[in-house]
């Protein structure tokens, strides 16, 4: 399942797959009051990464492009935050979470690199 992150993907595809994996992970966590709110935020930020990347690719100006990429970076950092807050009850969930956090970290680095190269 989470092996998809070891494959090379176009960034639009990679962010889409990441969002799908986060949604799948969220479906497996305990439905506590805290997790329900955390789940909403995690899904919102994870899905925003790819949506903003698509918008960045359609931008008419370099300034708008860089702004959208910065939003992608911000959302990937935020997704990491929400994933870390989720309450888990088993080791499998913890392993999945760690893989998702690692992918979010990689996406953050990629978007940071794009911002730097765009200056």
Domain containing residue 27: CATH number: 1.20.1440.60
| Per-residue pLDDT at 7 | 43
CB neighbours (10 Å) of residue 111?
26
| Per-residue pLDDT at 13 | 96
| Per-residue pLDDT at 119 | 81
The first and second tokens of residue 117, run together, are: 């190269």
The number of angstroms, rounded, from the C-alpha of 8 to the middle of its chain's C-alpha atoms is 16
| Per-residue pLDDT at 20 | 98
Residues 6+ apart with CB under 8 A from 41: 78, 82
What span, in angstroms and rounded, lies between the C-alpha atoms of 98 and 92?
A: 10
| Per-residue pLDDT at 9 | 56
What span, in angstroms and rounded, lies between the C-alpha atoms of 98 and 83?
A: 9
As averages over each run of 10 residues, the pLDDT of the chain (119 residues) reads 51 97 97 97 98 94 96 98 95 96 98 94
- Structural domain including 54 reads 10-117
Residue 113 lies in a domain: yes
Count of domains forming the chain: 1
């Amino acid at each position: 399942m989470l092996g998809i992150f070891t494959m090379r993907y176009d960034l639009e595809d990679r962010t889409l797959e990441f969002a799908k994996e986060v949604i799948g992970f969220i479906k497996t966590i305990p439905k506590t009051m805290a997790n329900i709110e955390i789940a909403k935020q995690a899904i919102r930020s994870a899905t925003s990464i790819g949506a903003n990347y698509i918008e960045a690719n359609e931008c008419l100006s370099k300034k708008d492009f860089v702004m959208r990429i910065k939003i992608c970076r911000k959302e990937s950092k935020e997704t990491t935050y929400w994933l870390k807050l989720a309450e888990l009850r088993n080791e499998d969930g913890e392993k999945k979470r760690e893989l998702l956090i690692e992918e979010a970290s990689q996406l953050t680095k990629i978007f940071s690199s794009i911002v730097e190269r765009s200056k």
